[in-house]
């Protein structure tokens, strides 16, 4: 089985487990306590225990992997430029591109915040 098929199978399994847990718990409010023993077990052991622990480990390992990879990529890219005269031009292009993409990201975030209005009515 290829990696792509394994990823798709994992995504489908995750969706089905999530739908199943949501259907079994059937909570009107996400902060409320399940009424059945099975619901209490799913909430305490499965969701707050296994899923939360595995999720925290996954996020920590991603952070552990991404930061050194970005650093090494930047160092290798700067070393591959060669002379110092190209470094100034590349730095200015990088700075301009960074400012443009940051401004675009901020504008989109503000636009979506105005449209969606998160937290309205709470």
Give me the chain's average pLDDT, please: 84
How far is the C-alpha of 59 from the C-alpha of 30, rounded, in Å?
A: 23
Q: What are phi and psi of 111, to 5 degrees?
A: -60, -50
Residue 113: pLDDT band (50, 70, 90) is very high
Residue 93: pLDDT band (50, 70, 90) is confident
**The pLDDT value given to residue 31:** 63
Residue of 62, 34, 58 lying closest to 46 (CA atoms): 34
46-88: per-residue pLDDT in tens?
A: 888 888 898 899 899 988 998 889 889 888 877 777 666 767 7
| Whether 21 contacts 47, CB under 8 Å | yes
How far is the C-alpha of 95 from the C-alpha of 101, rounded, in Å?
A: 10
């Amino acid at each position: 089985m290829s990696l792509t098929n394994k990823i798709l199978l994992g995504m489908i399994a995750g969706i089905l487990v999530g739908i199943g847990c949501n259907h079994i718990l059937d909570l009107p409010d996400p902060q409320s306590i399940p009424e059945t023993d099975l619901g209490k077990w799913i909430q305490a052991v499965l969701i707050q225990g296994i899923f939360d622990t595995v999720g925290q480990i996954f996020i920590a390992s991603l952070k552990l992997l991404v930061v050194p990879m970005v650093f090494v990529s930047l160092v290798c890219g700067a070393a591959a430029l060669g002379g110092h005269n190209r470094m100034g031009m590349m730095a200015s292009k990088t700075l301009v591109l960074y400012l443009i993409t940051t401004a675009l990201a901020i504008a989109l975030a503000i636009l979506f915040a105005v449209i969606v209005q998160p937290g309205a009515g709470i």
